[in-house]
Structure 1
């Protein structure tokens, strides 16, 4: 029977930024003590990196000491080869000798030779060594990589085939195992991602072919589409191979991760399926799906551009304005733009020279009768949303603006408004979030040389319990508002909002005497 390595805390950290509640970790350790799992990979050991990364990205000594006391399993940490060199080994690994049993190394096939040097230093400290070699579906593209595998003998205890893109099939597993075995005597492991929901059958195939060790995570928690589910593997092996499983302990640990699953909603979806089947990186997809409000069509367009190795699929005329607009109103997608639409309409109609910019088309139907000049920002799924908002574009009098070329997410434009679409020449007031709805709306206001910018429908999120996506969007908008306020002109919200960087007035104070 193959050994089982559970790497929930390490791989799941891509969603939690490597922070886990201590009580959850303790429950995880207690439950896995009663399960037929051989190794627990609890996180990275890393040199200091920029930005915030949590406890299990660094695995401080006190935490490893506590884990060692609580767990009956072999403990594993992983090094990211691209960041770690031989000179780091003493400080990173010296203090944890006796606390950790195995050190795995995440390796780009292109740098196998460099990893071998690093692994020799790790091996001298007495650790088991695992090679997690990424991009399994592309190994044949790496020149002499396969021939170099003979150098792994005597250094690595386990050589892992990592299906980084989640796109291999059972026959690929068999072919690759045979290929590796022809070139090294090292024990083999398999780490399957679940983009195409093949992680289980690929892992069972590897086991049937005599694989020595298999990775899995609770609920499949892991980067992008996630991994083989530990509970699914154990259940299958219990049925197929008679593996003794304490299902009470298994149920307890699975239930303890329910809250995180509901919060982060990892797992496969259409963009992950496409990225997996075409061996495209999951990093961008994970960002687009979990932290940005892009539609599947936008994401798929971006993936198709990556596959075709093109920057974008269309250039547009440059948006230009020779006139200065005294006042601009930016309408967001928040509920207050609907709740106060009658008052906002009165405000707009009393200012016939005011230009209205729709950062989102979500609320545009409430303002489609105004005679004022209107600009629509096409970002992400806005082209498709406009088709839903405007049943008939026959009376569409606005213009559309898009981010500068090249657009990472590609370009979708409703055919009926194509002749009224332009791209901004640049986004200058910020170097962050340049392809967001808010950045596009604010930069358009700058190009229109407006002396005063009002905002409605930027409510923010009132609920204390924000999802990560909502929290990220709030921080993104606050950053953009702050940059605009500090460098361009004050932004005034005329409807209720929780954004702290906005100045506040009431739309009703502007129409009081009208």
Structure 2
């Protein structure tokens, strides 16, 4: 019987919906209620800010200052974690963490930034903290490259290795394939972070668990960027109702937390509409879709076709210049 580790990331990933402007009461309620529900790990925010969404007005969980961490409620069951993007947060900015309630640091990196992870991971571990590595945009990583990344980490592996379907582009088969590579190459727990652009967050999570993953990310009310994550309350219900899984998580208590978020925190219901679906199908962050629509219209091109062409080249960022170049190439290739 598999007993997955359930990690709630509402205060971190959910901040993409409300600019991380959780009130002190929000933080206290979310953390204490999830702890009472015996959720295994609670990610309380970013240390040093998000690597993909910069906001001058972001609230406290976007940075997890020493003061913010010191004010967190004491947990009896849950381990507390922060996410760090090494490309935006130097190691020296975490020297206070060993004296905080945080015991785990989640290092998030895109495939092209993985080279900096081993040294950074060793520095964090020397502080006495547990470390996970979250490989973002894993839909951009084919199996041979993923195998290379795993082997580069094999000599000093993290405590947990995560794959994050950042664009919500994967399906159960493609996620299963990636999890299988990590399990074959690394003798450590593997985790998954799924997005719901194609309505597959739960299906992908279950496929990963079936393959052998044992860590599962989720957020209350699915609160996260774009189409959102697997909902923590649904994950708790699945793990509790399906006899193949064992869990100590109490779904009734998790639902108390999700109701609080729905009524007091979430600025709007999570939606899966054209923008989110297009981003999932075309394999890029949803917040680039407005740019794709605008520039495609200026060239008289179908934005769905332009989006597919963008996904095929897997750009690190979908800038105006990248979209312009794709549109120009498509215009030149079209018959007069």
TM-score by length of 2: 0.81
Q: What's the CA shift for 1:70?
A: 4.9
Q: What's the CA shift for 1:42?
A: 0.7
More relative contact order, 1 or 2 (CA 8 Å, 6+ apart) = 2
Show the counterpart of 1:116. 118
Q: Structure 2, unaligned stretches of length 5 or more?
A: 312-322, 328-336
Show the counterpart of 1:76. 81
Q: Secondary structure at the match of 2:36?
A: coil
Which of 39, 64, 67 is the equivalent residue of 2:69?
64
Show the counterpart of 2:26. 24
Q: What's the CA shift for 1:151?
A: 2.8
Q: What's the CA shift for 1:26?
A: 1.3
Q: Is the 8 A contact 1:30 1:71 kept in 2?
A: no
Q: Is the 8 A contact 2:32 2:73 kept in 1?
A: no
Q: Is the 8 A contact 1:41 1:78 kept in 2?
A: yes
Write the mapping of 1:224-303 to structure 2, written as runs, cut at 5 A: 224-241=226-243, 243-259=247-263, 263-285=267-289, 301-303=302-304
Show the counterpart of 1:368. none
Q: Secondary structure at the match of 1:40?
A: strand
Q: What's the CA shift for 1:247?
A: 4.1
Q: What's the CA shift for 1:72?
A: 3.7
Show the counterpart of 2:333. none
Which of 51, 64, 82 is the equivalent residue of 2:56?
51
Larger CA Rg, structure 1 vs 2: 1
Q: What's the CA shift for 1:144?
A: 4.2
Report the Cα distance in structure 2 between the residues aligned to 1:303 and 1:182, rounded to whole angstroms.
37
Any idea what the Cα deviations from partners look like across 1:121-159, whole Å, max 9, x if unmatched? Answer: 111111111111011222118x74522312323341111
Q: Is the 8 A contact 1:120 1:155 kept in 2?
A: no
Report the Cα distance in structure 1 between the residues aligned to 2:266 and 2:31, rounded to whole angstroms.
21
**Pairwise CA RMSD:** 3.0
Q: Secondary structure at the match of 2:199?
A: coil
Is residue 184 of structure 1 aligned with residue 186 of structure 2? yes
Write the mapping of 1:17-166 to structure 2, written as runs, cut at 5 A: 17-46=19-48, 51-67=56-72, 69-70=74-75, 72-84=77-89, 88-90=90-92, 92-98=93-99, 99-140=101-142, 144-153=145-154, 154-166=156-168
In the TM superposition, structure 1's runs of 4+ consecutive aligned residues that sit over 6 Å from their partners are 47-50
Write the mapping of 1:97-496 to structure 2, written as runs, cut at 5 A: 97-98=98-99, 99-140=101-142, 144-153=145-154, 154-241=156-243, 243-259=247-263, 263-285=267-289, 301-309=302-310
After superposition, the Cα gap between the structure-2 partners of 1:26 and 1:71, relative to the gap in structure 1 and judged at 3 Å, is: farther
Any idea what the Cα deviations from partners look like across 1:203-233, whole Å, max 9, x if unmatched? Answer: 1121222212100000000011100000011
Show the counterpart of 1:384. none
Report the Cα distance in structure 2 between the residues aligned to 1:32 and 1:262, rounded to whole angstroms.
17
Q: Is the 8 A contact 1:147 1:183 kept in 2?
A: no
Which has the larger helix fraction? 2
Q: What's the CA shift for 1:165?
A: 1.2
Report the Cα distance in structure 2 between the residues aligned to 1:133 and 1:100, rounded to whole angstroms.
21
Q: Secondary structure at the match of 1:69?
A: coil
Q: Structure 1, unaligned stretches of length 5 or more?
A: 311-405, 411-514
Report the Cα distance in structure 1 between the residues aligned to 2:42 and 2:115, rounded to whole angstroms.
27
Q: What's the CA shift for 1:202?
A: 1.2
Report the Cα distance in structure 2 between the residues aligned to 1:201 and 1:177, rounded to whole angstroms.
14
TM-score by length of 1: 0.54
Q: Is the 8 A contact 1:3 1:212 kept in 2?
A: yes
Q: What's the CA shift for 1:262?
A: 5.9
Any idea what the Cα deviations from partners look like across 1:183-216, whole Å, max 9, x if unmatched? Answer: 2223211000011111111111212222121000
Q: Secondary structure at the match of 2:229?
A: coil
Q: Secondary structure at the match of 1:263?
A: coil
Q: Is the 8 A contact 2:162 2:192 kept in 1?
A: yes
Any idea what the Cα deviations from partners look like across 1:342-400, whole Å, max 9, x if unmatched? Answer: xxxxxxxxxxxxxxxxxxxxxxxxxxxxxxxxxxxxxxxxxxxxxxxxxxxxxxxxxxx
Q: Is the 8 A contact 1:192 1:202 kept in 2?
A: yes
